[in-house]
Structure 1
Amino acid sequence: MARDLFLEIEGLLSTANPYIRKKAALCAMRIIRKVPDLQEHFIDKTKLLLQDRNHGVLLCGLTLIIDLCIHDPDLVDQFKQYTPVLVKQLKALTTAGYAPEHDVTGITDPFLQVKILQLLRVMGKGDSGVAEQINDILAQVATNTDSSKNVGNSILYEAVLTILDIEADSGLRVLGINILGKFLSNKDNNIRYVALNTLIKVVNLEPNAVQRHRNTILDCLRDPDISIRRRALDLSFTLINETNIRVLVRELLAFLEVANNEFKPAMTTQICLAADKYAPNKRWHIDTVLRVLKLAGNYVKEQILSSFIRLIATSAPDLQTYSVQKLYSALRTDITQEALTMAGAWVIGEYGDLLMKGGAYEEEELVQDVKQSDIVDLLTGILDSAYVNNVIHEYIMTSLMKLTTRITDASQIERVRRVLTSSSDSLDVEIQQRSVEYGNLFGYDGVRRGVLEKMPPPEARSDDRVLSDAGPGSKKSKSKIPPPKAKSGADDLLDLFNDDTQATPAPPSQANGHSDILDLFGSGSGGAPQQAQAQPAASSVNNILDLFGSSGGASAAPSTGAPSSSSLLGDMGGLVSNATPAPAPSGHTVYNKHDLLITLSLQRNADGFVAIVARFQNNSLTEHKTGISLQAAVPKSQKLQLMPITSTELPPQGVATQQMRVQGSQKPPLRLRLRIAHNQVTDQVDWSEPA
């Protein structure tokens, strides 16, 4: 229809009736939007509209031209010759007296002024010649328009946008930013919001001009309107530089203290990034991040915490002493902030010897003498508190273990040993593993001191990032604590099973823990050391077996080195060497397809736990099984803990095992829903324990 009628609309643009011309201009705009290739037919007639004496026709003509130029920037050059005409019209509007016909609260024809400013902005963008022609009229509009009325503010806002969008001189841009600064003190929330939004976009163009309104911007942080506070906060962060870092961060920390929780994750990150970039000295940097941890430690991201630890580790010894004393004092006051607790635990464990030396950590105040028992009391008190979670538990365990090489009191070292080994039956695999390994380290003082010596300063991952991959979590003082386990896997499994069950996905396959301990003790050496290592290794295995309620213990052959994986798990279902065919398995067969046989061996304990060993056997004589995994789900009234499979690949006639532990199944039958994957095959099995 547009193609059929555009010729008639083109003719109506030059009709004698101004009302028809106005409507034809609006109709032409909609035709061009639907059929852009028809625009060339309207350009000549549209140019005539710019000189029309009728107010309505001129207004609609400007709307049509703005639309044309925005959708096809190549057309801008065809209208630039009319810049003097537009300037003359705008000047007449700003200097004209009272005109009742198009007056709005004392402002002459504000709608037409806004449209002319918008078109001048389109034509002057990137063109210094046009910008020079319109500089004077923009300055005139900016200074003569009444800002006490909302209508005048709308014209001023368009004038500021035009000034900031074209190549205006610096003085004119400063004038525009000052207008926005004046908007910030307006009582209308909408005007303040618009001003903040615009200042964020132009702060890089005229940073010094925006800095002059810093106090007004900071006042907006206390505005009752949350949208105003959010925009003011974003703008405040863009204003930070080397000269005002102390003042602005002090104001932002004051706001952080009373901010809504939704602001805190972004605020903590931004403040710490700004401190890292512009900090005048390391002590101020440490104080600032410590203040953030105290105010919003539950909202600090792991990468920021890692960066803080790296900052302390790379500081001079006197700053390390200062940091550990401040963190110790902070933890004695408040253990409710997670990031503060983790940072304090790491630093106290690493620099506990500096903490006990004492010294000045405030200009007027001396740290009280810190006893070895005080440090242990603090960390064990955190373990017993309601604020401890698995990650904090891991931090505290590692910190206590490090302290055994920093303190000298034998009674406190023994106390730490008892605290660490008390977690050997934890349901969390990471905590359980640390407890067993740390407990074994107490039998080898020389090795323990070497393993737990102070860490070298970690390096940042890249120069352009404040975030470091060498984080506060460390295992055996050398490896990073993993972040809390994501729940997405379990949720996916629940969706898969679509039942009233609790799912536990299989953890990723990992190296044999027994071998890790032997490596730690230096099992690569020959004869005599291997003989000495056999006994503690067997003790570690027994601890693991006790957790699963095994009636028998694993024994390490005294005449050999590290026991094989088959001897390690022989009492729990047995690993048979891949090199020899496996005997017929005992237990309940739950899966026998595609040459893969899976059986379950169950053992019930009096406390309601069921220890399960899943045994995987590749019955094929030629095919390797790869990508083997087992996921399991139990009813929601029960809890399931799933250990890693010993191997995700099986050669022909090969065997692997996987351990499970179910809590809450007081009596048979036990119900399981299993998801089995291997060689890109996935099966699901429902299994109930035979009566």
Structure 2
Amino acid sequence: MSMLEQIENKVVGAFDQLGIKFTPSSQRLRDLIRQIRSARTAAEERAVINKECALIRDSFRAEDNTWRCRNVAKLLYIYMLGYPAHFGQLECLKLIASSRYTDKRIGYLGAMLLLDEKQDVHLLVTQSLKNDLLNNNQYIAGLALCTLGSILSSEMSRDLAVDVEKLIKNSNPYLKKKAILCAIRIIRKVPELMEIYVPSVRNLLSEKNHGVLLGAIGLITEMCIRSPDILSHFRKLVPNLVRILKNLILSGYSPDHDVSGISDPFLQVRIIRLLRVLGKNDLESSESMNDILAQVCTNTETTKNAGNSILHETVLTIMDIKSEPALRVLAVNILGRFLLNQDKNIRYVALNTLLKVIHADISSIQRHRGTIVECLKDPDVSIKRRAMELCFALINKSNIVEMTDELIQFLQTCEPEFKADCSSNMFISMEKYAPNKKWHVDQMIRILKSAGNNSRDDIVSSFIILISNTPELHFYTMYQLVQMIRDDVTQQPLVQVASWCLGEYGEQFLSNDYEGEKINEEEIANILIKVLNYNAGLISTRQYAINALIKLTTRFPVLTDHVQTIMSIYGCNMNLDLQQRAVEYHTVLKKFDNLREGLFEQMQPFELKQNYNIEEEDDVYEAKTEEDKIQEQERLKQEAAKTLIDIFGEDSSEPITTQTKSTNNDILGIFDAPLTAPVKPAQNNNLIDSFFDSVPSSSAPTVSNLPKNDLLDIFAGPSVKSTSPKPTSGFDDLLGLDGLGTTQNQNKPIVSSNSDVLGMFSTQNGHANLNGNQSQSMVIYEKNELKLTIEPTANGKGSNQAQHFVQLKAENQSFSNVIRDFLFSAAAPKTMQLQLSQPDKTNLPPLDSLSQTIAIANPNKEPLKLMVKLSYLLNDRPIQESNFVVNIPFFN
């Protein structure tokens, strides 16, 4: 214990004996900082902070005004270290109410750190802010403006917006620029208040102070982004902005605003950005700014980052407005020079900007394709990522061969995190622009070999679909694949495709005359057995191999005994799926040999997936700026609200056809065979009568309508439903074959569960009825990589049998694209009540999903139908589906 502490303890003890409470002076902030930094362990630091917090609390309880400012300052430091300091909120308000500037400064600093709009305490500071905004001391008014901009809420914005507007008209530049920045925050919080600031903003453009001018242009930009009417109003100011920008470019040296020989680059960038907002989709405004933009491009130095930032903003403006073609070429050439810069940041900015503006002039960007391809070799991963994305955007029919060779070379040497995206995008590009099928197949094999185990499952399934639809290349493809996997089965995607080909077309090795090493049936079986025995192989790869072996028994009867032995071995496999497949296949070989030929016949070609319009060779997405996104969101919200207000009072177009997916044609369940079920359009002119006064009718499928190539559900066809059910056990009919030859009561098909590979263990009791609530789901929308399904929730029907709950699930099926600003709206007939819960998220990353609950009150027990409106952003493109009708059959 130090000498000072000993003396302090003796003094405290003496005062206690006299019955007088002694309050020692508060420790200074610098002493607390020194004490905390000297702590050797985290526990010692916590002990110091807890002791100091206890002393601060005692001082607050004692209403000690002497050390309140010092204690709040220490508390703020403790808060910045991550410790709780909520008990100091009211003390901050007391300091704000003080007349001393030093107290107000610490009080406002504490309010900005400890308060936000979620804290009810922040409303108590409104009156103090109002008083200080009118204070004659500019520094006190400035503190109030800073605090207001930091913690303002909607209520506070409405109360103080007029006071801020008065300060904008103040002659003091110090207060004026702070008031302008505060007005920007108010507009972002409460957009409808922007009308207050429109009259006073026009005069700000004549200010000589660059700080005020910078804030004024930011305020105008914010208002133009959020209001089309105000945007039209401020388009009249384009000549004024052009004049200001020209003066900045031509002005001489100004030591107050010079940055690397350029006069106030910050103001120039803000003006050019505002010109972009004002000139977008407006020919007259664009023509008036073409000359000044060309002058900026030619007169700005590129040796310093200040000049490069101005050129970058100028390029974005040129490509976004209705500029002249020659000016667009000049802008792209500037970005081309950026690509040759030694600075990695500038190269990255150039690639990113080219990706944004590629929609505007792709032909000019194609001239720099060689430089862009060279960026694929850059050691910086961020530059490689942007260069790869830009390369895919540049691919078309004329350069697909050259670009594919470059990208495959990149795929062979790039990091593993690039391989999945690169291989998937390459397949999409080749599917769109491939010159012929043989070239397409060859390149797909090269891609799978180069990407190795980093390829996604969609590449495998897409390649199999391609092979199945090119019968003239079946043997060629299979031969190439077999030669690759005979001695190397480590590349699992390649092995999966090869296994599928052997199972479907393996007999062609014996029937085709070809040059090269001959392969007999035993060698084919040995290749598949080698795949099964590879310990590091994936379960999905073994599924492909075991399916291929069982199918080969119909082509090569000599292999039947050998395959049966393998199935008996895998009947004890630890993996449930492989075990079930092996047991069911072994049963087919042993007891139902007469069915084997039909069960394992060659599959029909899969339906090709068309995810895009092949005729659109230069179909690239249009990158949206931040202001575009805000305007698009506001427009979509307004349209959605307008539609739902009067959604049943307008005529509607024909309802869209709904689609259901079936995986019956795929032995692994990885391909889609869509079956369309068109909804009959209403004949009545009244939309309400046609959709809600009629009961939908549906016919159950018959045996002839069921898929014939169902290898996963071969025994799950229509079954007999007796009027007097007999008790069954799990061992009475292990394979579910009692009703195999019957045809009675075929109007109720049984749906096989996914866990039963061959459908042999299915019984009717284990499946959902079409009128029940057991594991039902219905696809109501599948387009643009977004899939919407609805299903009854666990709540089912309410206790009064009139309240229904439906779960909406939205799935992003893309592997790389993000779906943003998802908005699902619905309306029900007037006889029903509809309530939509908030979705758990509005942005969907790749392969992610969200859910939303729909509660429907149907007291009249009418057929459930909804009118749906859907909007979202895909690759920053707004997509909207309006007024399509969804039938909900679960509760009818």
User: Which of 545, 548, 566 is matched with 1:396 structurally?
Assistant: 545
Report the AA paired with residue 480 of structure 1: I
Tell me if the contact between 1:25 and 1:60 (Cα under 8 Å) persists in the aligned partners.
yes
Deviation at 1:460, TM superposition (A): 3.1
**Of 119-128 and 189-198, the range deviating more from structure 2:** 189-198
Deviation at 1:470, TM superposition (A): 8.9
Tell me if the contact between 1:62 and 1:119 (Cα under 8 Å) persists in the aligned partners.
yes
Q: Distance in 2 between matches of 1:425 and 1:459?
A: 36
Tell me if the contact between 1:470 and 1:480 (Cα under 8 Å) persists in the aligned partners.
no
- The reply to whether residue 480 of structure 1 matches residue 667 of structure 2 is yes
Deviation at 1:282, TM superposition (A): 0.6
- The reply to whether residue 452 of structure 1 matches residue 629 of structure 2 is no
Q: Distance in 1 between matches of 2:373 and 2:718?
A: 62
TM-score (normalised: structure 2): 0.51
- The reply to whether residue 194 of structure 1 matches residue 346 of structure 2 is no
Matches within 5 A, 1:240-389: 240-317=395-472, 319-357=473-511, 366-389=515-538
Tell me if the contact between 2:187 and 2:193 (Cα under 8 Å) persists in the aligned partners.
yes
Please name the residue that 1:224 is paired with: 379
Q: Distance in 2 between matches of 1:465 and 1:341?
A: 31
Please name the residue that 1:420 is paired with: 567
Deviation at 1:149, TM superposition (A): 0.9
Please name the residue that 1:144 is paired with: 299
- The reply to whether residue 569 of structure 1 matches residue 569 of structure 2 is no
Q: Given the superposition, is the C-alpha separation of residues 469 and 282 from structure 1 closer, same or farther in structure 2, using an over 3 Å criterion?
A: farther
Secondary structure of 1:238's partner?
helix
Q: Distance in 2 between matches of 1:98 and 1:316?
A: 74
Report the AA paired with residue 555 of structure 2: R
User: Which of 36, 45, 69 is matched with 2:200 structurally?
Assistant: 45
Report the AA paired with residue 354 of structure 1: Q
Deviation at 1:380, TM superposition (A): 1.4
**Of 98-107 and 443-452, the range deviating more from structure 2:** 443-452
Tell me if the contact between 1:102 and 1:108 (Cα under 8 Å) persists in the aligned partners.
yes
Aligned-CA RMSD value? 4.2
Please name the residue that 1:181 is paired with: 336
Q: Distance in 2 between matches of 1:316 and 1:144?
A: 62
1:409-447 Cα shifts (integer Å, max 9, x gaps): x4x554333333333333445434443444455567664
Tell me if the contact between 1:131 and 1:166 (Cα under 8 Å) persists in the aligned partners.
yes
Deviation at 1:131, TM superposition (A): 0.4
Q: Distance in 2 between matches of 1:370 and 1:185?
A: 54
Tell me if the contact between 2:509 and 2:520 (Cα under 8 Å) persists in the aligned partners.
no
Please name the residue that 1:206 is paired with: 361
Secondary structure of 1:405's partner?
helix
Matches within 5 A, 1:492-511: none
Tell me if the contact between 2:341 and 2:347 (Cα under 8 Å) persists in the aligned partners.
yes
In the alignment of these two chains, the number of paired residues is 508
Report the AA paired with residue 340 of structure 1: L
Q: Distance in 2 between matches of 1:6 and 1:376?
A: 80
Q: Given the superposition, is the C-alpha separation of residues 5 and 147 from structure 1 closer, same or farther in structure 2, using an over 3 Å criterion?
A: same
Tell me if the contact between 1:90 and 1:116 (Cα under 8 Å) persists in the aligned partners.
yes
1:209-255 Cα shifts (integer Å, max 9, x gaps): 22222222222223222222222222222111111111222222222
Q: Given the superposition, is the C-alpha separation of residues 98 and 435 from structure 1 closer, same or farther in structure 2, using an over 3 Å criterion?
A: same
Deviation at 1:335, TM superposition (A): 0.7
1:534-575 Cα shifts (integer Å, max 9, x gaps): xxxxxxxxxxxxxxxxxxxxxxxxxxxxxx995982699xxx
Q: Which segments of 5 or more consecutive residues in structure 1 lack a partner in the other structure?
A: 361-365, 485-515, 525-563, 573-628, 630-642, 651-676, 681-691
Q: Distance in 2 between matches of 1:135 and 1:649?
A: 68
Report the AA paired with residue 243 of structure 1: S
Tell me if the contact between 2:716 and 2:762 (Cα under 8 Å) persists in the aligned partners.
no
1:618-663 Cα shifts (integer Å, max 9, x gaps): xxxxxxxxxxx9xxxxxxxxxxxxx98884499xxxxxxxxxxxxx
Q: Distance in 1 between matches of 2:532 and 2:500?
A: 14
Matches within 5 A, 1:663-674: none
1:373-395 Cα shifts (integer Å, max 9, x gaps): 22222111222221334333332
User: Which of 272, 276, 281 is matched with 1:126 structurally?
Assistant: 281
Please name the residue that 1:541 is paired with: none
Q: Distance in 1 between matches of 2:166 and 2:550?
A: 90
Q: Distance in 2 between matches of 1:678 and 1:158?
A: 55
Tell me if the contact between 2:424 and 2:458 (Cα under 8 Å) persists in the aligned partners.
no
Deviation at 1:136, TM superposition (A): 0.8
1:252-297 Cα shifts (integer Å, max 9, x gaps): 2222223333333322221111111111111111112212222334
Please name the residue that 1:160 is paired with: 315
Secondary structure of 1:50's partner?
helix
- The reply to whether residue 61 of structure 1 matches residue 216 of structure 2 is yes
Q: Given the superposition, is the C-alpha separation of residues 129 and 355 from structure 1 closer, same or farther in structure 2, using an over 3 Å criterion?
A: same
Q: Distance in 2 between matches of 1:7 and 1:375?
A: 84
Deviation at 1:201, TM superposition (A): 2.0
Please name the residue that 1:664 is paired with: none
Secondary structure of 1:246's partner?
helix
Q: Distance in 1 between matches of 2:522 and 2:497?
A: 20
Q: Given the superposition, is the C-alpha separation of residues 517 and 72 from structure 1 closer, same or farther in structure 2, using an over 3 Å criterion?
A: closer
TM-score (normalised: structure 1): 0.64
Q: Distance in 1 between matches of 2:713 and 2:175?
A: 93
Report the AA paired with residue 380 of structure 1: I
Q: Given the superposition, is the C-alpha separation of residues 271 and 333 from structure 1 closer, same or farther in structure 2, using an over 3 Å criterion?
A: farther
Q: Distance in 1 between matches of 2:667 and 2:314?
A: 56
1:178-211 Cα shifts (integer Å, max 9, x gaps): 2222222223333222222222222122111222
Deviation at 1:523, TM superposition (A): 13
Q: Distance in 2 between matches of 1:394 and 1:11?
A: 75
Deviation at 1:328, TM superposition (A): 0.5
Q: Given the superposition, is the C-alpha separation of residues 398 and 252 from structure 1 closer, same or farther in structure 2, using an over 3 Å criterion?
A: same
1:38-63 Cα shifts (integer Å, max 9, x gaps): 54444333212212334333333323
Deviation at 1:163, TM superposition (A): 1.0
Please name the residue that 2:250 is paired with: 95
- The reply to whether residue 233 of structure 1 matches residue 388 of structure 2 is yes
Tell me if the contact between 1:460 and 1:470 (Cα under 8 Å) persists in the aligned partners.
no
Tell me if the contact between 1:458 and 1:470 (Cα under 8 Å) persists in the aligned partners.
no
Please name the residue that 2:823 is paired with: none
Q: Distance in 2 between matches of 1:570 and 1:229?
A: 62
Q: Given the superposition, is the C-alpha separation of residues 6 and 269 from structure 1 closer, same or farther in structure 2, using an over 3 Å criterion?
A: closer
Tell me if the contact between 1:121 and 1:162 (Cα under 8 Å) persists in the aligned partners.
yes
Q: Given the superposition, is the C-alpha separation of residues 440 and 83 from structure 1 closer, same or farther in structure 2, using an over 3 Å criterion?
A: closer
Secondary structure of 2:248's partner?
helix
Secondary structure of 2:570's partner?
coil
Q: Distance in 2 between matches of 1:442 and 1:571?
A: 18
Q: Distance in 2 between matches of 1:517 and 1:483?
A: 11
